[in-house]
Structure 1
Amino acid sequence: MLKFSLKQLEIFVTVAELNSFTNAAKALYLTQSTVSAHISGLESALNTRLFSRDARRSVTLTAQGQRLYPAAKRILSDCRELTSLVENRHEELPLLLGASTVPGQYLLPELLASFLRRRPDCRYLLRRGDSQQIHELLRAGSVRIGFVGARLDPARLRYTPILEDRLVMVTPNTPYYQEKKRAGVFGCDLLGEPTVAREEGSGTDSAVAAYMRRRGFPAAKLRIVARVDNPETIKSMAAHGAGVSVLSALAVRQEVEGGRLLAFEMDPAGLRRHIYAAVRQDETFAELESQFLRFCRSFFGRSSDIE
């Protein structure tokens, strides 16, 4: 009789992939003590040590852990496939979705409502976070389909671009910035202005950092007066004169059209990035999940290789 559980294997794989008991606990919505207890129980059942821990609390797989890891991954994948094989395609099946801020706020509401009209029996479980947090949830298996604005782990996840997004510099609609707009100033020329930035770990922040590196603009010259994790708050702060900000054009369309904010293209070519649907490389999809992914392709009018 087996002396260990699937839950222990799931926690083992999550710790191995995140190299951290703390991050694994966050991804699985468990306490760190619960994660540690499960790992200790698995090590006891197998009579071997699976992780090495150093003084800085860094966690790495032992030689035995490295041998166990691919087998544990196969077992968990087979269990997910078994669930899919016996599932009735017409039963209610929660779609486990994750979304970073921009797709979560400005794309998914219409997408999910449209899919519900096609499949009124469908149910969603949607988890929100920045791009980095959604990646952690995907790797841990807590969500099965993620919508993100950055490709942070191409070795373990598959990304399909579903929509092209522009990033623009937004400013208050004041005479000072109106004059700059008339003069043909670009957003890159405003990078030295007081700035309200997105939080580190967001797809927008990663795209802006990469853009500044390409242009040779030192990060130290960026005058960040605040970092905020909500674009709605950032837009309000910018409109009230707290600073400029680089945001998704999707997020600021109404404010720009209504005259509360001005939007500047970052440069003559424009700063563009993709919104991606991300899944794990080894994922096996249930019928409803495959149908949802096909709907995403048609909804945003893009081809995709996700199946």
Structure 2
Amino acid sequence: MLDAKWKIFQMAAATCNFTQTAAALGMSQPNVTGQIRKLEQELGVALFIRDGRQLRLTRPGRVLLLEAESLLALSENAVRMARNAAADVLSFQLGATMTAGGYVLPPLAAEFMREHANRRIHLCIANTEEISDKLKKRFFDLALVEGAFDRELFLSRTLLADELLLAGSPRLPFFRGGKVELAELAKSNLPLLLREKGSGTRFYTDRFFREHGFRPERSGRILELNSPDAIKSMLRTGFGVTVISELAVRDELKAGTLAAARFAEGEVRREMNFIYLPNDSLKFNEEFIAYCRRKYRP
């Protein structure tokens, strides 16, 4: 395992405050300060600029943070693999993007663990950009994403095709005919509740809008939220519309609390892919991917 100073440094870089770092790690503030000072002495560089109680990373500190995150991930992975080798129960780390992690992967993972009593799957959910970055640093054994990814870096297998729909309150006139023209959406001046930059849903939404000359950002109509559930909660009040996966609104469409329509200009389709790097968990990755492809039902 890596020296504890690396974890302390990572937390301090995240909080920009030694007191908050100490509280998060269950340490005293003087101990945190002393460990950071020792690390700076060992490296011969200043890692933080002290500005009262607040901290700012120096340039060497920013460079070190990138390496520290990778080293900590490798260290944690090595410990886990060693424990796996000695244990009857094997543990694996999976990443998933919001739609994949919220509506597709959990039931598959649960069913897999019921059928494989010696497997444990830990799931982390974030947007595509964050999941890809953590997978590069080997925080995860495997990830399921619906956004664009580096096909030259990652191995990949497609799980399913997904469609994005315009969704909102059933009281809105958009949803009476089944299809909506972007020109009609532009005239409505309704707020657009969209996922944040870096999400797969946002990537495909922005691309579709650009291809058809729709530029809602110019009118300041876009409101960003990083949670599909938060978006749906606002839609149910009658506020705005969104572009969202059909998987994410399936229950609401059945219940009639939300309505959806396709775009007259064409379908917005994407794939949901498992992505991974060659690693010690390759056998599990292939086993789990095959299981999901066999068991998944739309």
Q: TM-score normalised to the size of structure 2?
A: 0.69
- Superposition pairs of residues 76-115 of structure 1, within 5 angstroms: 91-115=88-112
1:267 maps to which of 239, 264, 268: 264
1:291 maps to which of 274, 287, 294: 287
- Superposition pairs of residues 166-177 of structure 1, within 5 angstroms: 166-174=163-171, 176-177=173-174
- Superposition pairs of residues 68-83 of structure 1, within 5 angstroms: none
Secondary structure class of the residue paired with 1:165: strand
1:108 Cα deviation from its structure 2 partner: 1.2
Asked if the contact 2:193–2:240 (Cα under 8 Å) also holds between the matched residues in 1, the reply is no
Work out whether 1:223 is the aligned partner of 2:221. yes
1:94 Cα deviation from its structure 2 partner: 1.1
- Superposition pairs of residues 146-161 of structure 1, within 5 angstroms: 146-161=143-158
Secondary structure class of the residue paired with 2:180: coil
In 1, the alpha carbon distance for the partners of 2:160 and 2:136 equals 23
Change (3 A) 1:59 1:161: farther
In 2, the alpha carbon distance for the partners of 1:248 and 1:261 equals 13
- Report what 2:180 is aligned to: 185
1:207-248 Cα distance to aligned partner (Å, 9 max, x none): 111111111222424612x32122122112112111011011
- Report what 1:209 is aligned to: 206
Asked if the contact 2:113–2:121 (Cα under 8 Å) also holds between the matched residues in 1, the reply is no
In 1, the alpha carbon distance for the partners of 2:268 and 2:119 equals 36
In 2, the alpha carbon distance for the partners of 1:292 and 1:90 equals 19
1:284 Cα deviation from its structure 2 partner: 3.8
Secondary structure class of the residue paired with 1:208: helix
Asked if the contact 1:97–1:144 (Cα under 8 Å) also holds between the matched residues in 2, the reply is yes
In 1, the alpha carbon distance for the partners of 2:79 and 2:237 equals 55
Work out whether 1:121 is the aligned partner of 2:122. no
Counting aligned pairs with the same residue, the percent is 23
- 1:118 maps to amino acid: E
Secondary structure class of the residue paired with 2:287: helix
Secondary structure class of the residue paired with 1:291: helix
In 2, the alpha carbon distance for the partners of 1:166 and 1:253 equals 12
Moved more, 152-161 or 168-177: 152-161
In 1, the alpha carbon distance for the partners of 2:287 and 2:103 equals 22
- Report what 2:195 is aligned to: 199
Change (3 A) 1:233 1:86: closer
Asked if the contact 1:187–1:264 (Cα under 8 Å) also holds between the matched residues in 2, the reply is no
Moved more, 226-235 or 152-161: 152-161
1:142 maps to which of 139, 142, 149: 139
Change (3 A) 1:295 1:132: same
1:116 Cα deviation from its structure 2 partner: 1.5
Secondary structure class of the residue paired with 1:125: strand
- 2:260 maps to amino acid: A
- 2:120 maps to amino acid: R
In 2, the alpha carbon distance for the partners of 1:210 and 1:59 equals 37
Work out whether 1:254 is the aligned partner of 2:257. no
Q: TM-score normalised to the size of structure 1?
A: 0.68
2:230 maps to which of 230, 233, 254: 233
1:8-62 Cα distance to aligned partner (Å, 9 max, x none): 99xxxxxxxxxxx87xxxxxxx99xxxxx99x999999x999xxxxxxx99999x
